[in-house]
């Protein structure tokens, strides 16, 4: 099947994670993505560890398949190089604080005057307007302000850090991609582009929809770790086996809970985890701690009760299930070493063939293609 974005041109002025992952998804679906970076060092992610022969793994994972142009956006030549690209571009993605692109002469109104059909996507922590629009922040701040972090912050002595970058990816990358695609469809119907104002803190709200229903609409007080989905019930929490490996018990429905209780031989008087949640959880923990995870894993799998042993990222990458589905078949070339590319939530029929090997362009590699001065080693 032809990649759906094969005729789409994307100008990428973003850095680090939310924007680069969004443009990576567009590139994997066939779009031509031109990444603009500062001359000399490129974007900061090029400098991050770990590296393979001096090439940042994190940068390569997020930026393969894109063209790289090293360009000082404040220079006199910048607009001469950018104007012909702006005239034909379909999408522009930027991740500066509000007002920065305007000062560079690349704000939405200026670009729209050149290309009325441009889909201009701005990704920020708090949006283009509002009291916090200019505030600095990172994922931890955004999930904190959205109320999500308070739901499972862990003990005060050792607060639990979020395992995933919910605001950066879930509140930034995904909404950006979804709305860019919606805007492209809308442009087909009306011919006009639009300015997409993506606020990572706002996008994070959807990840705790149940907290919105229970805490905002119903007005219930939600305690950290005290709700059904954050460890408030024995049937949905993490337990530690004798070998230190953790077991994820997700037996929410009664049939799964009873099947799990049968596996660990939980006494009938403790199976009602609503009447005395602490006593129930304590006994579940005691019983699971009595055997290793290798003992429990086949028993839980046979019971089919939504209970699994936690895997490390390295273990997950070689899991037979993911291998059978080809999740890690897409490869990436980092300084000559062939490694698995980051799995992306794009259907196989839309993304680049699994047999192709991606590569991140060297800084300024594509300068000659677009009329910019060659960018040699600094």
Instruction: Report how far residue 369's alpha carbon sits from residue 286's, in angstroms, rounded to the nearest whole number.
Output: 65
pLDDT of residue 162: 83
Mean pLDDT of all residues belonging to the chain: 95
Assign 378 a pLDDT band (cuts: 50, 70, 90): very low
Find out whether 300 and 310 touch, Cβ atoms under 8 Å: no
Determine the average pLDDT of the residues in 50-67. 98
Structural domains of the chain ordered from first start: 9-206+327-370 (3.40.50.10540), 246-309 (no CATH)
pLDDT of residue 275: 87
Q: What pLDDT is recorded for position 357?
A: 95
The mean pLDDT value for 106-122 works out to 98
Instruction: Please state, for a pLDDT cut of 90, what percent of the chain lies above it.
Output: 85
Choice among 139, 168, 197, 273 that is catalytic = 168
Report whether pLDDT(377) > 70: no
pLDDT at 261: 98
Q: What is the average per-residue pLDDT within 10-21?
A: 98
Rounded-to-integer distance, Cα 71 and Cα 35, Å? 10
Give the predicted TM-score (pTM) of the model: 0.94
Q: Is the pLDDT of residue 232 over 70?
A: yes
- Res 147 pLDDT > 70: yes
Q: Characterize the bridge pairing of strands 51-52 and 32-37.
A: unpaired
> Is 138 noted as a catalytic residue in this protein?
yes
Specify the pLDDT at position 359.
97
What percent of the chain has a predicted confidence (pLDDT) above 70? 99
DSSP output for 213-274: IIIIIS-----TT-STTTTSSTTEEEEE-TTS-EEEEE--SHHHHHHHHHHHT--GGG--TT
Length of the chain (residues):
378
- Find the mean pLDDT for residues 134-142: 96
195 is catalytic: no
Catalytic one among 72, 138, 195, 276?
Answer: 138
Across residues 190-214, what is the average pLDDT? 94
Average pLDDT of the residues in 142-170:
89
């Amino acid at each position: 099947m032809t990649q759906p974005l094969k005729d789409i041109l994307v100008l990428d002025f973003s850095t680090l994670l939310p924007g680069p992952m969004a443009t990576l998804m567009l590139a994997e679906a066939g779009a031509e993505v031109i990444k603009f970076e500062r001359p000399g060092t490129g974007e900061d992610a090029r400098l991050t560890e770990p590296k393979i022969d001096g090439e940042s793994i994190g940068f390569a994972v997020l930026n393969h398949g894109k063209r790289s142009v090293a360009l000082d956006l404040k220079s006199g030549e910048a607009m001469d190089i950018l104007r012909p690209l702006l005239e034909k571009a379909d999408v522009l993605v930027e991740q500066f604080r509000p007002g920065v692109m305007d000062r560079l002469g690349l704000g939405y109104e200026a670009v729209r005057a050149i290309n009325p059909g441009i889909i201009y996507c701005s990704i920020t922590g708090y949006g283009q307007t509002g009291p916090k629009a200019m505030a600095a922040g990172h994922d931890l701040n955004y999930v904190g302000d959205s109320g999500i972090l308070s739901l499972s912050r862990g003990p005060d002595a050792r607060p639990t850090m979020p395992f995933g970058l919910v605001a950066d990816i879930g509140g930034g990358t995904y909404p950006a991609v979804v709305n860019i695609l919606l805007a492209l469809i809308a442009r087909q119907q009306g011919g006009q582009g639009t300015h997409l104002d993506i606020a990572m803190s706002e996008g994070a709200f959807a990840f705790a929809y149940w907290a919105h229903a229970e805490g905002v609409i119903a007005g219930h007080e939600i305690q950290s770790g005290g709700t059904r989905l954050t460890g408030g019930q024995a049937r949905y929490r993490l337990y530690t086996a004798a070998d230190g490996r953790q077991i994820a018990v997700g037996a929410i429905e009664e049939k799964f809970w009873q099947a799990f209780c049968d596996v660990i031989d939980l006494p009938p008087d403790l199976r009602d985890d609503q009447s005395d949640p602490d006593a129930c959880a304590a006994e579940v923990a005691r019983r699971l701690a009595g055997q290793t995870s290798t003992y429990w894993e086949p028993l839980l799998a046979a019971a089919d009760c939504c209970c699994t042993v936690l895997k490390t990222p390295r273990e997950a990458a070689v899991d037979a299930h993911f291998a059978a589905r080809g999740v890690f078949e897409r490869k990436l070339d980092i300084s000559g070493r062939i490694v698995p590319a980051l799995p992306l939530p794009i259907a196989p029929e839309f993304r680049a063939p699994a047999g192709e090997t991606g590569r991140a362009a060297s800084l300024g590699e594509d300068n000659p293609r677009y009329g910019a001065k060659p960018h040699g080693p600094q």
